[in-house]
Chain A
Amino acid sequence: MSQQVIQSQVIWNRLISVVEEQAQALIRTAFGTATREAGDLSAGVFLPDGRMIAQAVTGTPGHVNSMAESVKHFLREFPLDTLQPGDVLLTNDPWKGTGHLYDITMVTPVFHHQRPVALFASTLHVIDIGGLGPGPDGQQIWHEGLFLPILKFIHAGRLDQTVLNIVKANVREPAQVEGDFLALVACNDVGARRLLTLLDEFALTDLLEVGDYILTRSEQAMLEAVRSWPAGSWESELWVDGYDQPLRLQAKLTLSHDGIHVDFAGSAGFVAKGINVVKAYTDAYTSFGIRCLIGADIPNNAGSLGVIKIDAPEGSILNAPYPAAVTSRHIIGQMLPDVVFNCLRQARPGEVPAEGASCLWNIQLSGGHILPEYDAVNTLTQPRFSITSFSTGGTGARPRLDGLSTTSFPSGVRNVSLEILESISPVVFWRKEYRQDSGGAGQQRGGLGQVIELSHGQDLPMELGAAWDRIHFPAQGAEGGLAGAPGRVTLSTGETLSGKGRQIVPPGSHLIVETPGGGGLGNPLERHAASIARDLTHQLISPQAAATSYGHSAQSTNKTE
């Protein structure tokens, strides 16, 4: 019995290592920048009944438990007894996968002595899926690209060339998308091989016993973590910019002896633009927000995730029905941890961060294709390019700690080198610096946003794809802290651009993107004088802001630039 416990622990460690290896294999072979640079992928291993027992910790929480649920959809479509060794299933159904058509999920059953013992699943964001391309401009799912229902991609080791041909005919970068598809197949294989070695090494016939051990332990630990918080219900609301009109996100969070329940009743209805969120994605970012504060070190699996129950009314923007457009679901999805924090802060004042920029501020630029209002033939002769500069604002101030400046949260994206972007496009960057005074004032200051300035290096027109928020509704401060600076998008000619949708950057003008700052926490007047002085020395705040927001007297410093 006791030996069994030790062996189960060793196997649990190994399973986590196996899915990490699976994820590494995917990261290194994938083509989409979202996968590679943002870690926009997931990898996990499941029991034959579809319960996830281990998942790799990767760069973005968007797939946390959305992929966990997707395997059950696969098994409904293809029951395990209809599958054989060498089969691989796939889908990009947003409602059965991870929330938009760009995410391809593949599932590979693993057989040990002819018996199915597990399934490996992995998801990545492909570089292109046809349709309008990235951005929230689609109005229906059909605008957004190729839809692949759950289907068998590899039949007992034989790849379905017809499926692959259809995919390649519908996307802009067929060779790279093919590479991404095959990367998914290969990474599941890596996982499967390691699992079979493990079964032999420990002389196991299946994973059921160890699976139960993992799920039970995780569930118990998660419940204990929940019970260490006060029981009760708390409500919060948060307004976001929306595509063209403000939208309300409303939540009621309940902590009880039996777990956590979040209800998004009262949130806005879905809209005719690609900012809608499917339920699985709502679940993903909501549970992530919870897990940041409750049970952060408990591995992700069906046991720990099962303690969290989430409801969102069908037809709301957080449970958008087919055939709503969903491509840019991250804009609103990434706000959900803030919604969760706003509830939990009431349960434990002084122990929860303030709101941050939260939504990524990726700058998507393309050129050399036909642009409205520009001579079609002429634009087609210009250099063709498409780049994404992953960019972020500031995170909310934290208990006893300032917010992180220009840091991704809740996403875990890494940016792409400016020099790399300049080497593969005609874009020239002119500025990328902290945005002074953008961090919300507070006893703990919100993280700063940044200012990015760029232009087309050959003075040609190019297209900007905007998918940003917190322009009209900045990150709020908490417990006396002030709001962070709102985001801002302008041209050097003075014109203000919209935070959402495709727009032209005219020849010769510079695009100036100012990302939002994080909210402050606590009364700014109680901020340590030394912290204010340091912020002044580092010019993170101006002398005026020190005086007006913090009541700091100007004569104590005379730093100039």
Chain B
Amino acid sequence: MPVNDALNFFNRYKGEGMSERSGDGLVNRVAVDVGGTFTDIVMLRGSTQFSAKILTSADAPERAVITGISDVLNQAGLTFNDIDALILGTTLATNALIERKGARTALITTAGFRDLVEIGQEDRFAQYDVFLQKPRPLVEREWRFTVEERIDAQGQVRIPLKEEQVVALAEELRAQKFESVAIGYLQSFINPQHEQRTAEILRDLLPGVTVSLSSDVCPEIREYERLSTVSANAYVQPLVAGYLHRLQQQLATHGLRVPPYLMTSGGGITTLENGIREPVRLVESGPAGGAILASNIASQLGLEKVLSFDMGGTTAKICFIDRFQPQISRSFEFGRVHRHQKGSGLPIRIPVIDLVEIGAGGGSIARIDHLQRLQVGPDSAGSSPGPVSYNLGGELVTITDANAQLGLLDPASFAGGKVELNVDKAAAALAQQVGKPLGVGTDEAALAVTEIIAENMANAARVHATESGKQVDSYTLIAFGGAAPLHAVRLASKLGIGRVVIPHAAGVGSALGFLWAPVSYQAVRSFYQRLDNPDYAAVNALLDTLSDQARHIVQQADETASVSLLRSVYLRYAGQGHEVSVPLEGAHFDEQGLAALHARFTQTYRQLYGRSLDHVAVEAISWTVTATTAAPEIAFPAPGEPLARTNGVAERTLYSLQQQQRIQVPVLTRADIEHGGLRSGPLVVVDPETTTLVDEHFTVSSTREGHLLLERQPQSGAAQ
């Protein structure tokens, strides 16, 4: 069966580690991001960048990967044998979950609890919508089976596992031709022996069927989330294993001599072997690359507090990055029935970079609702038919149309000249769909569209900051993705942010970010403890187990690197429902460590909520250990060839928010900014892939590294 073969296959690579060899001294690093539509490939040869973008081959993603890598290798005159590091990100797992194209999967639960994974939280994600439909569980009721067993909250066996029922069930699973099985018993994170024994029996009787245990994939309290996570893992495992297996073989055939690595949702990379074991951790790996890229730029510029802002065609994503580390969360929702509506998807609990996704991109549609209010997004015209101005049949006004009308986009060179914009069409549609109902002119209508979308993004960022206990106005915005540089100054102004960086790689996809990802793995276990009376020995034993597990998995990828361990505890006041992650210092947990932990919790809680509750007991819910290697020290790619200098001769007419009229502004290139020093807005800076708007309130200059630095003018206090 593919999975076991694949595991054996990967084992042969053990011990090779990440070599840093190259004939001419230049190291060749390749990153590949397999997206739903496009596969992006980036290669850094030393600090020279090569890239390619080709259509994803959905039926066999490895084909596009091989073709794309060959393409960048050709550009540099290299072969697969010259590759020193290869990192792969994939949306294969995500797409299989969303499109429900995973394996025929059975879920086995404790008798009496067949429906937990469907009952979920018993709530409705939209209060006033009596016609809502909940997301279907991955494993429907007829494929959910139960076995008599019960372990209690203390880990004691209340009902021994009825092994004969497991044996009988194996026959039924075989007869019904299941490809994958998820096992999720109650309280299994405390005592996994029943799950393990069940798996043993099934693996014995059903060779070739993949088996996922909730106590392996998600050893955390809260049965719904754990069952949902293990179901997702089982559901995508055969598919992901098959793909990785085929890919691995083809890479080897083409002469790759290093083991490839996989990007995970948590921002670290891992071995293919581990990716097959826990494919659910590969979900959302693509967007993680963008946050890592921003972290790397933050580190390059020494910016300790950064808000990354990635805006493309359909969505915008924001992420807080403190001291060069993206904020990490332990929960994620996939397949939301209502776009961007919390609670309308299915939960998975994995370490994931905490990105907030907003339905705001170049293709977001603007319309007037029945309260005569202008609404923008979350619906998107996508790339087909796309905005009205693409002239491809799109009839609904989008943000790109508004930007074209405002004079912010050069119709001839939009998206590197790939699309020619028809501004007249955009203007007519804006006037008809927005201007007329609001009783304003076309320019005002266009401006209203961009203002509302900036407001939507700012609101999402503020709420996320409140949830995360951060003062957003003390952050620097790093804006990248095709649409972000146009909207960055307005977003910054609304958030009270005074500094914006537009990296010179602003238009590049997230693949580039993969190259700076460390090898890492987070192990977790729920273990309830009251801090007023902790069982030190038990906690230390648990931490040791988690440390060994995490270190072992990281060392499989890189035996020689030094591994650092970061422990943390999820704490709350007794009776609360949300936990706060607090780092646990020191290798051994004792009374001193407890006092420090308590103090740190109080401090973190104060920072988040403005006060602490010193008379309420504190309880620990979950414990994590993250093993990680140092991030690779790789030079950021040198800026690509910028557009030629214009010396400010070129001008463009655009509609100014501040002056409420059309004004002439200079059109500059990065080369102009690099040579010309500090310039004050209003002006635009054009790049092959993007345009940056610098309004009256900001100045622009170039950093040593070639990034654009926008700073609020000192006299410009008010945001409006």
- Which of B113, B372, B452 is the one whose CB lies under 8 Å from A217? B372
Query: A559–B578 Cα gap in the complex (Å)?
Result: 43
**Nearest CB in chain A: distance from B339 CB, A:** 15
Interface set of A (CB-CB < 8 Å, partner B)? 1-3, 5-6, 9-10, 12-14, 17, 20-21, 24-25, 28-31, 33, 36-37, 57-59, 61, 127, 173, 175-176, 178-179, 182-183, 186, 189-190, 194, 197, 200-203, 217-218, 220-221, 224, 288, 291-293, 296-298, 353, 390-392, 398-399, 401, 404-409, 412-420, 422-423, 428-434, 450, 453, 457, 537-540, 559
Decide yes or no: A296 and B129 within 8 Å by CB, A28-B578, A419-B223, A433-B112 being known contacts: yes
- Which of B123, B374, B459, B616 is the one whose CB lies under 8 Å from A407? B123
Query: A409–B134 Cα gap in the complex (Å)?
Result: 14
Chain B 207-229 interface mask (CB, 8 Å, partner A; 1/0): 00000000000000111100000
Query: A434–B119 Cα gap in the complex (Å)?
Result: 8
Decide yes or no: A186 and B119 within 8 Å by CB, A10-B452, A539-B141 being known contacts: no
- Which of B152, B441, B459, B578 is the one whose CB lies under 8 Å from A428? B152
B379 within 8 A of A: no
Q: Which chain B residues border A190 with CB–CB below 8 Å?
A: 466
| Closest A residue by C-beta to B720 | A201
Name, among B371, B455, B575, B660, the residue most crowded by chain A CB atoms within 10 Å (CB to CB): B371
**Nearest CB in chain A: distance from B434 CB, A:** 10
Question: CB distance A420 to B222 under 8 Å?
Answer: yes
Name, among A12, A194, A288, A419, the residue most crowded by chain B CB atoms within 10 Å (CB to CB): A419
Chain B 124-143 interface mask (CB, 8 Å, partner A; 1/0): 10011111111000001110
Query: A457–B452 Cα gap in the complex (Å)?
Result: 56
Question: CB distance A175 to B222 under 8 Å?
Answer: no
B122 within 8 A of A: yes
| Closest B residue by C-beta to A413 | B123
B573 within 8 A of A: yes
Decide yes or no: A423 and B374 within 8 Å by CB, A186-B610, A398-B130, A414-B121 being known contacts: no
Question: CB distance A419 to B718 under 8 Å?
Answer: no
Interface set of B (CB-CB < 8 Å, partner A)? 112-116, 118-119, 121-124, 127-134, 140-142, 150, 152-153, 158, 186-187, 221-224, 369-374, 438-441, 444, 447-448, 451-452, 455-456, 459, 462-463, 466-467, 494, 496, 528, 573, 575-578, 608-611, 613, 615-616, 660, 718-720
Name, among A12, A186, A391, A404, the residue most crowded by chain B CB atoms within 10 Å (CB to CB): A404
Q: Which chain A residues border B451 with CB–CB below 8 Å?
A: 6, 10
**Nearest CB in chain A: distance from B37 CB, A:** 31
Question: CB distance A414 to B123 under 8 Å?
Answer: yes
Question: CB distance B573 to A21 under 8 Å?
Answer: no
| Closest A residue by C-beta to B449 | A6
**Nearest CB in chain A: distance from B167 CB, A:** 17
Query: A425–B514 Cα gap in the complex (Å)?
Result: 46
| Closest A residue by C-beta to B133 | A401
Question: CB distance A2 to B440 under 8 Å?
Answer: yes
Question: CB distance B119 to A450 under 8 Å?
Answer: yes
Query: A195–B131 Cα gap in the complex (Å)?
Result: 34
Question: CB distance B371 to A24 under 8 Å?
Answer: no
Query: A259–B113 Cα gap in the complex (Å)?
Result: 47
Decide yes or no: A59 and B575 within 8 Å by CB, A201-B718, A406-B119, A415-B122 being known contacts: no
A to B CB contacts below 8 Å, 27 in the list: A2-B438, A3-B440, A6-B440, A10-B455, A13-B452, A24-B463, A28-B608, A30-B576, A173-B575, A178-B613, A179-B613, A182-B611, A201-B494, A297-B128, A392-B122, A398-B130, A405-B119, A407-B124, A412-B123, A414-B121, A414-B122, A414-B123, A417-B222, A420-B222, A434-B114, A434-B119, A457-B158
Q: Which chain B residues border A391 with CB–CB below 8 Å?
A: 122
Question: CB distance B224 to A29 under 8 Å?
Answer: no
| Closest A residue by C-beta to B220 | A419
**Nearest CB in chain A: distance from B469 CB, A:** 9
| Closest A residue by C-beta to B153 | A422
Query: A388–B456 Cα gap in the complex (Å)?
Result: 37
**Nearest CB in chain B: distance from A359 CB, A:** 14
Q: Which chain A residues border B142 with CB–CB below 8 Å?
A: 537-539, 559
Query: A419–B150 Cα gap in the complex (Å)?
Result: 12
Decide yes or no: A201 and B463 within 8 Å by CB, A9-B374, A419-B186 being known contacts: no
| Closest A residue by C-beta to B441 | A2
Name, among A10, A57, A178, A409, the residue most crowded by chain B CB atoms within 10 Å (CB to CB): A10
Q: Which chain A residues border B113 with CB–CB below 8 Å?
A: 431-433
**Nearest CB in chain B: distance from A461 CB, A:** 19
Q: Which chain B residues border A297 with CB–CB below 8 Å?
A: 128, 369
Decide yes or no: A434 and B115 within 8 Å by CB, A408-B123, A415-B121 being known contacts: yes
Q: Which chain A residues border B718 with CB–CB below 8 Å?
A: 200-201, 203
Decide yes or no: A422 and B152 within 8 Å by CB, A433-B112, A433-B114, A434-B115 being known contacts: yes
Question: CB distance A33 to B130 under 8 Å?
Answer: no
